[in-house]
């Protein structure tokens, strides 16, 4: 049974009650990989008025930095090992949401052009040689149930990618607002507008999931324009014009 997230002093994402562990299973936990993000809990933004233009400009009280897990050589090796799969998921994103894909590429291009915008710039330069995903963050979650929630750090129009792995079974992903339930076993891929749609997931057995997503505040900080909604025109505009009955035998 999937439950609503219970308000706690600490995030439900690291609450022990949602993690499961049996002898021989992968250690439960979360690992975050990002070439540029704000430390958890430090996405504080100050607004100050420009009296000449009567507009507001966001400023951050903390610099962008390479995530701690990605500074670890073991974490970097994991990113190398997932280069092909991450690039493939990027190709899928370019088809189902071309504008979000382009925003992700602009994010990477901005980092490559001005690495000094990020604390630990020398590490960032190394990371950019192996980071093949247009998404700004990869989070690996092992042996944790996910209560109903929304991903408020994203944008309403952005997709998150969920890729379950391992030996889990009877997994399901639920969207209670739509009354929908999906099979959510390893070797499947889900693209979901995680801020718009409340969702939760459970699974039996030893398993993990890789979540690919983007942070709105990071894109704002780098001046990358937020991607709008994906449309049916986006899905079909770039397909080659073909006639199903135009063939030769």
Structure confidence by residue, pLDDT tens digits, 157-166: 999 999 999 9
233 pLDDT band, cuts 50/70/90, is confident
Residue 40: pLDDT band with limits 50, 70, 90: low
- Please state the φ and ψ torsions of residue 162, each to the nearest 5 degrees: -120, 125
- pTM, whole model, 2 decimals? 0.81
pLDDT > 60? residue 58: no
Mean pLDDT of 214-219: 96
98 within domain boundaries: yes
Residue 156 has pLDDT above 60, yes or no: yes
Q: In whole angstroms, give the CA distance from residue 199 to residue 175.
A: 5
Higher pLDDT, 96 or 45: 96
Q: Is the pLDDT of residue 49 over 50?
A: no
Per-residue model confidence (pLDDT) at position 179 = 96
Contact 56, 237 (CB under 8 A): no
Span 79-107, mean pLDDT? Answer: 97
Share of the chain above pLDDT 70, in %: 79
Question: How many whole angstroms separate alpha carbon 205 and alpha carbon 10?
Answer: 26
Kindly tell me if the per-residue pLDDT of 167 is higher than 50: yes
Residue 232 belongs to some domain of the structure: no
Q: CA-CA distance, 214 to 136, in Å (whole number)?
A: 5
CATH label of the domain that carries residue 33: 2.60.120.10
Q: How many CB atoms lie within 10 A of CB 64?
A: 22
Of 144, 161, 147, 141, nearest to 204 by C-alpha is 144
Any domain includes 235? no
Q: How far apart are CA 214 and CA 189, in angstroms?
A: 17
Structural domain includes residue 238: no
Longest dimension (CA), the chain: 72
User: Which of residues 144 and 41 earns the better pLDDT score?
Assistant: 144
pLDDT tens, position by position, 100-144: 999 999 999 999 999 999 999 999 999 999 999 999 999 999 988
104 sits in the region (left: phi over 0; alpha: psi -120 to 50; else beta) called alpha
234: pLDDT strictly greater than 90: no
Q: How many CB atoms are closer than 10 A to CB 190?
A: 18
Print the domain residue range for 154. 15-225
pLDDT of the residue at 45:
44
Q: What is the pLDDT of residue 54?
A: 35
Count how many domains the chain has: 1
**Phi then psi dihedrals of residue 19, to 5 deg:** -95, 150
Give the three-state DSSP class for 36. coil
What gap in Å lies between CA 40 and CA 28, rounded to an integer? 19
Region of residue 144 (phi > 0: left; psi between -120 and 50: alpha; otherwise: beta):
beta
CB 196 within 8 A of CB 190: no
27 domain-assigned: yes
- Compute the average pLDDT of residues 165-194: 93
Q: Give the sign of the dihedral formed by CA 146, CA 97, CA 70, CA 68.
A: negative
Distance CA 192, CA 175 (A): 10
* In-domain check, residue 68: yes
Residue 58 vs residue 174, higher pLDDT: 174
**Within a domain: residue 243?**
no
pLDDT, position 46: 37
Q: Is residue 9 part of a domain?
A: no
CA 168 to each of CA 72, 127, 146: distance values in angstroms, whole numbers, following the listed order? 28, 31, 14
């Amino acid at each position: 049974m999937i439950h609503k997230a219970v308000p706690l002093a600490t995030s439900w994402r690291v609450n022990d009650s949602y993690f499961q562990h049996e002898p021989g299973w992968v250690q439960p936990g979360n690992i975050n990989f990002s070439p540029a993000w704000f430390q958890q809990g430090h996405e504080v933004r100050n607004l100050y008025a420009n009296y000449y233009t009567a507009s507001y400009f966001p400023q951050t009280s903390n610099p962008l930095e390479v995530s701690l897990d990605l500074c670890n050589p073991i974490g970097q090796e994991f990113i190398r090992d997932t280069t092909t799969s991450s690039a493939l998921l990027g190709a899928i994103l370019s088809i189902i949401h071309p504008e979000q894909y382009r925003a992700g590429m602009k994010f990477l291009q901005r980092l490559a052009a001005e690495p000094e915008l990020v604390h630990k710039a020398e590490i960032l330069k190394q990371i950019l040689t192996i980071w093949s995903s247009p998404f700004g963050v990869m989070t690996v979650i092992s042996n944790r149930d996910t209560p109903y929630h929304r991903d408020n750090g994203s944008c309403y129009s952005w997709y998150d990618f969920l890729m379950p792995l391992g030996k889990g079974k009877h997994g399901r992903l639920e969207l209670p607002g739509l009354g929908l339930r999906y099979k959510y076993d390893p070797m499947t891929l889900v693209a979901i507008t995680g801020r718009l749609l409340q969702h939760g997931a459970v699974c039996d057995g030893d398993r993990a999931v890789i979540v690919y997503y983007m942070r709105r505040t990071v894109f704002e900080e780098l001046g990358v324009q937020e991607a709008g909604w994906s449309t049916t025109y986006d899905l079909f505009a770039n397909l080659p014009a073909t006639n199903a009955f135009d063939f030769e035998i």
